[in-house]
Amino acid sequence: MSLILIALLGIAGCSGGKDASTKVIVSGSTTILPIAEQAAEAFVDENPDTQVLVSGLGSSAGIEAVSAGTANVGTSSRDLKPEEEELGLVDTPIAYDGIAVIVSPANPVDGLTSEQLQDIFSGKITNWSDVGGADRDIQLVNRDEASGTREAFKKIVMGDVSFDPAAAVLPGTGQVRDVVARAPGAIGYISAGFVTPRFTNVKVKAIDVDGVAPTEKNIGTSAYPVGRTLHFFTKGTPEGVTKDFIDFVLSDDVQKGVVVDAGFIPIAEGGGK
Partner 1 sequence: MKELALKGIFFTCAFAFVLAVALIFIFVGWKAWPIVTDYGFGKFITGSVWSASKELYGILPLIVGSVIVTLGALALGTPLAVGTAVFLSEVASPKVRAVVRPAVELLAGVPSVVYGFFGIILVRAIVARFTGTLGFGAFTAWIVLGIMIVPTIAALSEDALRSIPEGIREASFAMGATRWQTIYKVVVPAAKIGIIDAIILGMGRAIGETMAVLMVVGNAPVFPQDIFSPLSTMTTQIVMDMPYAVGLHRTALFAMAAMLFVFSMLLVATVRLLSKLRD
Q: Which residues bind partner 1 (CB under 8 A)?
A: 1-2, 57-58, 60-61, 63-64, 136-137, 139, 141, 144-146, 162, 165-171, 175, 179, 182-186
**In terms of CB distance, is 119 or 144 closer to partner 1?**
144
**In terms of CB distance, is 87 or 212 closer to partner 1?**
87
Smallest distance, Å, CB 175 to partner 1?
8
**In terms of CB distance, is 22 or 175 closer to partner 1?**
175
Burial 11-25 (b: 16+ CB within 10 A, else e): eeeeeeeeeeeebbb
Smallest distance, Å, CB 105 to partner 1?
16
Smallest distance, Å, CB 146 to partner 1?
4
Smallest distance, Å, CB 65 to partner 1?
8
Smallest distance, Å, CB 134 to partner 1?
12
**In terms of CB distance, is 188 or 271 closer to partner 1?**
188
**In terms of CB distance, is 155 or 243 closer to partner 1?**
155
